[in-house]
């Protein structure tokens, strides 16, 4: 699933290409909603992982890539790299076709309408575009059970928007928190520290180049733990572990020594992998 920094960079590209453009049409996969004819795109914006096309007539097309979604750009008549049946959104800008394949969601909304406002309010603060409000963030967290695992809390876009699977593992490592740690075991200051670290990393990765959470000039890689199962921890040398953890099990990487030790942390959910 794309992280918030990836969606933000995609937003900048699409906004630069389409802001102020009159498009010949916008077609949605029939399972997602109706298509429409000509219209002018006034802006492309994002909140966390949600990408929204705003039109001059006040309508909005909100989309979410999910785990497998991706945007492509083609010249009219060019061959597509994916089958047409997987096209969720097609924006015909005349000289270019912008195609989103395999989106998790797409829907039309009325800008400023109750559904659009409700969806915006349901999302937590965008960690790239907004400053963290400690009171607001902790207030949202307080509605969760104390038994919630940090691996689930960090991926919950209703708490704060933008963190994906890579940053989840990386900020837990940098914060010294075991992935099986629960909210009830985590002081508020520690939790806020995880989100502030995530915000710093997301913002630092908005430029070009591959995502990194550490300085790779020592030849040891761009990431601390993600994708390094079985390799020595870059701090203590212990082998990095990987497990499928959480309510919706996702790959999680951690150091058993730097993050509290595995022996006293039986998994609340998930399984090793």
User: If we measure between CA atoms, which residue out of 229, 255, 223 comes closest to residue 242?
Assistant: 229
Active-site residue, from 2, 54, 62, 242? 2
Q: What is the pLDDT of residue 162?
A: 86
Active-site residue, from 27, 49, 76, 196? 49
Q: What is the pLDDT of residue 47?
A: 82
Annotated catalytic residue 185: no
Annotated catalytic residue 3: yes
pTM, full prediction: 0.72
Contacts of residue 59, Cβ cutoff 8 Å, sequence gap at least 6: 36, 39, 108, 109, 110, 111
What are the CA-CA distances from residue 91 to residues 32, 74, 87, 272 (Å)?
15, 11, 11, 42
Active-site residue, from 168, 228, 242, 250? 250
Q: What is the pLDDT of residue 146?
A: 96
Q: What is the pLDDT of residue 185?
A: 95
Q: Give bridge partners of residue 23 from the DSSP assignment.
A: 39
φ/ψ region of 69 (left if φ > 0, alpha if ψ in -120 to 50, else beta) reads beta
Annotated catalytic residue 9: no
Contacts of residue 155, Cβ cutoff 8 Å, sequence gap at least 6: 163, 164, 165, 168, 246, 250
Q: Residue-wise pLDDT tens for the chain (273 aa)?
A: 567 788 888 999 999 999 999 999 999 999 888 998 889 999 999 887 789 999 999 999 999 888 788 999 999 999 999 999 999 999 999 999 999 999 988 999 875 544 544 455 567 888 888 889 999 999 999 999 999 999 999 999 899 988 989 999 999 999 999 999 999 999 999 999 999 999 999 988 987 778 999 999 899 999 999 999 999 999 999 999 999 999 989 999 999 999 987 655 555 444 545
Contacts of residue 8, Cβ cutoff 8 Å, sequence gap at least 6: 46, 128, 129, 202, 206
Contacts of residue 224, Cβ cutoff 8 Å, sequence gap at least 6: 170, 173, 174, 213, 214, 234, 235
Domains and CATH numbers, the chain: 4-122 (3.20.190.10), 131-254 (1.10.8.50)
Pair type for strands 125-126 and 160-161: parallel
Please give the Cα distance from 245 to 255 (Å, whole number): 15
Residue with tokens 């928190």: 177
Length, in residues, of the chain: 273
User: If we measure between CA atoms, which residue out of 262, 260, 51, 249 comes closest to residue 155?
Assistant: 249
Q: Give bridge partners of residue 243 from the DSSP assignment.
A: 252, 272
Annotated catalytic residue 170: no
Query: End-to-end alpha-carbon separation of the chain, Å?
Result: 19
φ/ψ region of 32 (left if φ > 0, alpha if ψ in -120 to 50, else beta) reads alpha
Q: What is the pLDDT of residue 265?
A: 56
Q: What is the pLDDT of residue 117?
A: 41
């Amino acid at each position: 699933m794309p992280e918030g920094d990836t969606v933000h960079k995609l937003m900048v590209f699409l906004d630069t290409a389409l802001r102020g453009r009159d498009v010949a049409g916008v077609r949605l996969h029939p399972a997602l909603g109706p298509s429409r004819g000509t219209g002018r795109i006034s802006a492309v914006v994002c909140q966390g992982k949600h990408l929204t096309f705003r039109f001059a007539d006040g309508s909005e097309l909100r989309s979410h890539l999910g785990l497998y979604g991706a945007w492509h750009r083609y010249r009219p008549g060019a061959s597509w790299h994916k089958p047409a049946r997987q096209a969720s959104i097609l924006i015909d800008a005349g000289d270019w076709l912008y195609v989103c394949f395999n989106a998790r969601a797409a829907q039309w909304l009325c800008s400023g309408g109750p559904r659009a406002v409700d969806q915006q309010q349901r999302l937590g603060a965008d960690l790239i575009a907004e400053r963290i409000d400690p009171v607001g963030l902790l207030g949202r967290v307080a509605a969760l059970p104390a038994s919630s695992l940090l691996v689930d809390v960090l991926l919950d876009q209703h708490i704060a928007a933008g963190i994906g699977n890579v940053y989840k593992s990386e900020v837990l490592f940098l914060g010294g928190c075991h992935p099986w740690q629960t909210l009830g075991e985590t002081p508020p200051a520690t939790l806020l520290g995880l989100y502030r670290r995530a915000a710093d990393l997301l913002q630092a990765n908005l430029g070009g180049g591959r995502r990194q959470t550490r300085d790779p000039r020592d030849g040891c890689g761009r990431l601390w733990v993600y994708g390094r199962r079985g390799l020595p921890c870059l701090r203590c040398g212990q082998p990095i572990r990987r497990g499928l953890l959480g309510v919706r099990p996702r790959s999680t990487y951690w150091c058993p020594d730097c993050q509290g030790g595995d022996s006293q942390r039986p998994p609340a959910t998930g399984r090793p992998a």
